[in-house]
Amino acid sequence: VPLVRTETDVVVIGAGQAGLSAAYFLRRSGLEFVVLDRDSSPGGAWQHRWPSLRLDKVHKFHDLPGMAFDEQDEHRKASEVVAEYFARYERAFELPVRRPVEVVAVRDAGERLLVESAGGDSWAARAVINATGTWTRPFWPHYPGQETFTGRQLHTADYRSAEEFRGHHVLVVGGGTSGVQLLIEIAEFASGTTWVTRRPPVFKDVEFSPELGREAVAQVERRVRAGLPPGSVVSVTGLMRTPQVREAEARGILDRKPMFDHLTPTGVVWPDGTEQHVDAILWATGFRAALDHLAPLHLRESGGGIRMEGTRAAAEPRLHLVGYGPSASTIGANRAGRAAVHEIRRLLAAPEVAAA
């Protein structure tokens, strides 16, 4: 099969909340575009989330622009209902999503950006909207002795069900929302649990409010503007003390320990020599932005992040990152999609200037 190189105005990479939102505004802009998605079916990262994640356990799932989510049954799996909603959405707005297409590189090809896929096909675009999320880049920290541990190790991204841990002592690493939720679930079946986090967790009694959300977004915005990595959501919002959390606190499940010093074949050891036998370790240690395919553009700053101005990469005006940093939430992703398309329309309407 001959490899195809297609010219188009805009390539969107990723068909999650952020990519679909961008696609919706592109559809209305009259620009020619294509959405490339590495998954084989609709749903973005949501389709991969663990079966026990029901809608009543997610913070707040925001509508995509132009079509209400209106799922009533909060006991259904978030993975299923969100995937169904995204599929409906792609059909309703006739969004040109190609899948599975994994983008492996974006290169500067003079006047155009060249988007290359694992299959060999490529797209020469006047602008690129990157919406690849974080799910494909689970972050595993390294601790001494990790490779000698003979029990099971898994990351949040691999987690399926608490029942798999029946009768086991499980260590959960990480102080984010997922860590807390999974710890509470697993404690129902495990013979025992241990929770370790780097910093003491801070639970807040206040309800998540728009003001809190805005402040969190502003903090992350300041970081990416300075070229720093975005950081985790909980590092800026803190953890919510839900009724479920309160109950777990009362039962002692959330008695957190500081990080251990090293692992042994059968457990972990703290700096003072205390040892805990564990059968399984769940690394609920978060995700990083999936941006490896942008490496040929050399946008990483010494601080480790990509310097941003709104959704635009400061050093590459043809590239927008949506669902990144301050827009890494379902509501932020929507706004970012609109903002990115607005800027790209202006950029592409300007007389085409020869690349320097």
Give CA–CA dist 42/225, Å, rounded: 32
Least Å from the CB of residue 264 to ligand FAD: 30
What is the footprint of ligand FAD within residues 148-177 (CB under 6 A)? none
Q: Is 113 in the site for ligand FAD (CB under 6 A)?
A: no
Helix residue ranges per DSSP H, the chain: 17-29, 78-92, 177-187, 210-225, 234-237, 243-250, 330-349
- Exposure b/e, 10-33, CB count within 10 A at least 16 = b: bbbbbbbbbbbbbbbbbbebebeb
To the nearest 10 degrees (0 to 180), the angle between helices 17-29 and 330-349 is 30
> What does the alpha-carbon distance between residue 29 and residue 205 come to, in Å, rounded to a whole number?
44
Q: Which is nearer to ligand FAD, 115 or 171 (CB)?
A: 115
Are 61 and 92 within 8 A, CB to CB? no
Binding of ligand FAD at residue 325 (CB under 6 A)?
A: no
In the complex, minimum distance from the CB of residue 79 to ligand FAD, in angstroms, rounded to a whole number:
10
Phi, psi of 239 (to 5 degrees): -105, 145
230 near ligand FAD, judged by CB under 6 A: no
Which residue stretch of 13-21, 196-204, 276-284, 311-319 sits at the interface with ligand FAD (rule: CB under 6 A)? 13-21
Residues between 263 and 322 with contacts to ligand FAD, criterion CB under 6 A = 290, 293
Q: What is the CA radius of gyration of the chain?
A: 22
Whether residue 262 contacts residue 281, with contact meaning beta carbons closer than 8 Å, is answered with: no
When asked if residue 116 is in the footprint of ligand FAD (CB under 6 A), the reply is no
Query: Binder to ligand FAD among 9, 63, 84, 102 (CB under 6 A)?
Result: 102
Q: What is the distance between the alpha carbons of residues 305 and 313, in angstroms, rounded to a whole number? A: 11
| CB of residue 7 to ligand FAD, shortest distance in Å | 19
* List 178, 194, 311, 334, residue binding ligand FAD (CB under 6 A): 178
**Residue 244 lies near ligand FAD (rule: CB under 6 A):** no
- The residue ranges that bind ligand FAD (CB under 6 A) are 13-19, 36-39, 44-46, 49, 58-62, 102-103, 131-133, 135-136, 178, 290, 293, 323, 328-331, 333
